[in-house]
């Protein structure tokens, strides 16, 4: 969570929570499926479908790819020395965010810097949560509820939306729908 701040030279910062809300102790599988389906649109998602996990995990994978492709596209708008494409592509999502942050600080528009920093902070937070939740799922699938994965997907969508708006990669998001 980010703290509110107001500074004369900076636009106001607002709290956002990047995280997964805890699931109530009395949560049921039926509630989980209903909440997941209500939160995210799944291909072929109807309440009669028995195993939503592969659908949700595939959707998360797609959102991670969209975020990654936004950084691939955004890096091209910063005037800089050539970055070898293969080395850029080999970076993790978090590493791309940090490289982009350092390049944007040197070459970016100072007027947009505060908003961009917040968008990049959000990306880092979401990617950390993604890694932790997916590690937990891989280690013990029954320990992760669908609604937790749906919340993660929602946070990933918000993160790439922020980057689309800040980095001028909105054309990429049009191709997602």
What digits encode the pLDDT tens for the residues 109-120?
A: 777 777 788 888
Contact 146, 40 (CB under 8 A): no
Q: What is the value of pTM for the model shown?
A: 0.75
Exposure string of 115-127, with b = 16+ CB inside 10 Å and e = fewer, is bbbbbbbbbbbbb
Task: Examine the pLDDT at 85 and tell me if it is beyond 70.
Answer: no
Please report the DSSP string for 51-76 in residue order.
--HHHHHHHHHHHHHHHHHHHHHHHT
Q: To 5 degrees, how large is the angle CA 94–CA 66–CA 98? A: 20
**Quick one: what percent of the chain has pLDDT higher than 70?**
71
């Amino acid at each position: 969570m980010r703290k509110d701040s107001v500074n004369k030279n900076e636009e106001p910062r607002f709290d956002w929570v990047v995280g997964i809300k805890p699931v109530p102790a009395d949560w049921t599988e039926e509630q989980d499926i209903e909440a997941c389906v209500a939160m995210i649109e799944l291909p072929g998602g109807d309440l009669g479908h028995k195993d939503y996990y592969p659908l949700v995990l595939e959707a998360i994978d797609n959102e991670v790819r969209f975020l990654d492709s936004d950084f691939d596209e955004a890096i091209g708008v910063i005037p800089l020395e050539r970055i070898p494409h293969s080395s850029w592509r080999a970076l993790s999502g978090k590493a791309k965010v940090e490289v982009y942050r350092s390049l944007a600080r040197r070459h970016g528009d100072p007027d947009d810097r505060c908003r961009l920093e917040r968008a990049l902070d959000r990306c880092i937070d979401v990617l950390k949560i993604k890694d932790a939740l997916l590690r937990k799922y891989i280690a013990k699938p029954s320990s992760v509820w669908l609604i937790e994965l749906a919340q993660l997907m929602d946070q990933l969508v918000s993160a790439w939306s922020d980057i689309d708006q800040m980095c001028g990669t909105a054309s990429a998001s049009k191709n997602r729908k």
